Structure 1
Amino acid sequence: MQDRRNFLKAAALGAAAFSFEGVKATPVTAAGRVVKGQPIVISTWDFGLPANKAAWEVLKQGGRALDAVEAGVKVPEADPKIQTVGYGGFPDRDGHVTLDACIMDELGNCGSVAALEHVIHAISVARAVMEKTPHVMLVGEGALQFALASGFKKENLLTPESEKAWKEWLKKSEYKPMMNIENKTYNSNGATAFSPLQLPGNVYNHDTIGMLAMDANGNLSGACTTSGMAFKMRGRVGDSPIIGAGLYVDNEVGGATSTGVGEEVIRIVGSHLVVELMRQGYTPEAACKEAVTRIVKKSPQKAKEIQVGFLALNKKGEYGAYCLQQGFSYAVCTSDTKNELINGKHYF
């Protein structure tokens, strides 16, 4: 009997090893799916292309997904040409550039900062909150105090270009955002195309880079960072730094992130909703579509005038997105040579 048990045990282990090696050797399959065990990184908007490239450098060397997403979103945070994230972001109506960010790992650990001033890499401060404090979120002056005490450099985030845009906006102080302005910052090769300041009418939107990654060990992490809504009220915070709204990761199921008008995402706790729908068996795209549909049901008229998009990645390596309006794009990277931009499906 003992010999039989040992034989069955050995056979099972051998089969498992054979199956695992087979999966690892299998290349990426059809669009929307990547084989489990193969690293992948996805992110929102055209500026996700250079962000993905930085994240991939971590993943291809067997690095942790958490390190990859931090490295990835730091790219747009530091780029003054991207006026919706980090350095050079549009200020609030009083002229202050305030940043929101959050990060979450495969263990459910998370950190967040909101209304943070004077520090370019809000995502790294959020990670420090996660790793060095007993808290999840720090805001405003407290977040800045913590960042400076942790060694982050105090800098002026308001660039001449964004200051010029703010002063132009002050002439009428009207908020009439142009949707999908974010995907006009980079072309399909990841090179700078043109600035929002070159667009007619000097009308601006805000937006977020949300990023999700799965590493070679099959573990998931996510990051989300933004300078928030252009010319917002002082103290306004959107969905981006809120765990469950702008970002959520459950390593047993998958992760999700959001972009667009954060108030509507908060109302449905959007990213958590997407993950829970995937837990129920929805594909990433179907889960994102259901979240978008709930926004439409709650505010059908408002939904026609704004943009909200969701992006998701499940434990199998399947990914997908869905948005309110045409124009939302997301970037997917699965190798050194495959970093592509995909147009998200839309409700209207």
Structure 2
Amino acid sequence: MKRRKFLRNTSLGTAGIFVAGKGLAANTDALTPVVSETQAAQKPLIIATWNVNKETEKAWETLQNGQSALDAVEEGCKLAEANIDNITVGKGGLPDRDGHVTLDASIMDSKGNCGSVVYLQNVTHAVSVARMVMEKTPHVMLAGKGAEQFAYEMGLKKENLLTEKAKKAWDEWKVKSEYQPVINIENHDTIGILAMDANGDIAGACTTSGLAYKMNGRVGDSPIIGSGLFVDNEVGAAVATGLGEEVIKTVGSFLIVELMRQGKTPQEACEEAVKRIVTKPDSNYKNFQVGYIAMNKKGETGFYSIHKGFWMTKHTNGKNENKESGYYHK
């Protein structure tokens, strides 16, 4: 299943995303066991959300060239950002309801340093700006015009991110949808990459253009450290994908890392993080999707989602494979 087909027909009123098969009974008593990725992998290791073999191959090549895990996750994300056929990330991403393509991204290194950008416009490589925020400023996060101006000062060029393909989709959306604060017909998601180098050092990054046709100014989980991404080099790392509002409410990526610190495997931690969302008293989980991937210091990996359709790409031991995730709602 293509990443763009993962989320459909989102409504802000229900905080929901229609998922095929929602009429089926949900498994509300216990998580369905899945095949756990508990066998420790040979280092180095790359994992990413979705079927993104080119991006994981780029990250792998970066490591093989002697560069760091941080370089690897940045280069993998940059490849996605530059792909104008990808409507969910970087240049070519679908705009907000006012026609603005706005980007969010974050990055973390093995030393606990982090950087992010929110509501960045006119610059393709949001992940690189996030890294520059981390390495070139005393701050963690820059937003909007300030982030954009900083990117230009760092030498990045100004570009029109609204491609003809994305503009056509936006024009069609305006005809079909009422112009009010309701997110309609949404096909979107984040790319997150985690990397471990041969020394066992871990880094992570994620990048997105956010919900298509979102309200002007909306920011999701991707640039929020601890929600969309978290790395602790003593324990492991996690990254989220799906409806960002729900990830933020449970600080999902930080939760997974802390669960691994307490002794859970990455698979168990991802499943528990999903459970925290779906068992909330007011959860409307039948109508939205969230997925997580994680790795620990041993090289064990895990991935899990609320609904069918989530995938992880894993590159290690000379193999670059797509793996379909287990899921909660049947």
Superposed pair shares fold, TM > 0.5 = yes
- Of 164, 168, 172, 1:168 maps to 172
Spell out, residue by residue over 1:265-297, the C-alpha distance to the aligned partner (whole angstroms, 9 max, x if none): 000000000000000011101101111011111
> How far did residue 299 of structure 1 move?
5.5
Is 1:82 matched with 2:73? Answer: no
SS at match of 2:287: coil
2:317 and 2:160 map into 1 onto residues whose CA distance is 36
SS at match of 1:237: coil
TM-score, normalization: structure 1? Answer: 0.81
- Of 302, 308, 311, 2:290 maps to 308
SS at match of 1:125: helix
How well do the aligned residues superpose, as a CA RMSD in angstroms?
Answer: 1.4
2:38 and 2:61 map into 1 onto residues whose CA distance is 22
Aligned to 1:3: none
Q: How do residues 1-348 of structure 1 correspond to structure 2 at under 5 angstroms?
A: 32-35=38-41, 38-46=43-51, 48-173=52-177, 203-298=185-280, 301-336=283-318, 338-348=319-329
Aligned to 2:25: none
2:327 and 2:234 map into 1 onto residues whose CA distance is 28
Moved more, 250-259 or 59-68: 59-68
Inter-CA distance 124–271: structure 2 relative to 1 (3 Å threshold):
same
> How far did residue 61 of structure 1 move?
3.1
> How far did residue 58 of structure 1 move?
1.4
Does the CA-based 8 Å contact 2:186-2:213 persist in structure 1?
no
Spell out, residue by residue over 1:10-37, the C-alpha distance to the aligned partner (whole angstroms, 9 max, x if none): xxxxxxxxxxxxxxxxxxxx9543446x
Inter-CA distance 321–304: structure 2 relative to 1 (3 Å threshold):
same
Unaligned runs of 5+ in 2: 1-35
Give the letter aligned to residue 45 of structure 1. W
Give the letter aligned to residue 98 of structure 1. T
2:252 and 2:170 map into 1 onto residues whose CA distance is 30
Give the letter aligned to residue 39 of structure 2. R
The sequence identity of aligned pairs, in percent, is: 60
SS at match of 2:295: strand
Give the letter aligned to residue 292 of structure 1. V
SS at match of 1:68: helix
1:58 and 1:75 map into 2 onto residues whose CA distance is 12
> How far did residue 335 of structure 1 move?
4.1
SS at match of 1:171: helix
Does the CA-based 8 Å contact 1:34-1:40 persist in structure 2?
no
Spell out, residue by residue over 1:312-339, the C-alpha distance to the aligned partner (whole angstroms, 9 max, x if none): 0000000010100000001000144x10
Does the CA-based 8 Å contact 1:62-1:215 persist in structure 2?
no
> How far did residue 300 of structure 1 move?
5.7
1:44 and 1:219 map into 2 onto residues whose CA distance is 20
Spell out, residue by residue over 1:192-249, the C-alpha distance to the aligned partner (whole angstroms, 9 max, x if none): xxxxxxxxxxx43221001100001100000000000000000000000000000000
Q: Which structure has the higher relative contact order (CA within 8 Å, separation 6+)?
A: 2
Structure with more of its chain in helix, by fraction: 1
1:322 and 1:290 map into 2 onto residues whose CA distance is 9
Spell out, residue by residue over 1:149-179, the C-alpha distance to the aligned partner (whole angstroms, 9 max, x if none): 11000000001011010011111326566xx
Higher CA-based Rg:
1
Question: Aligned residues, how many?
Answer: 291
> How far did residue 103 of structure 1 move?
0.2
Unaligned runs of 5+ in 1: 1-29, 178-202
Which consecutive segments of 4 or more residues in structure 1 shift more than 6 A?
none
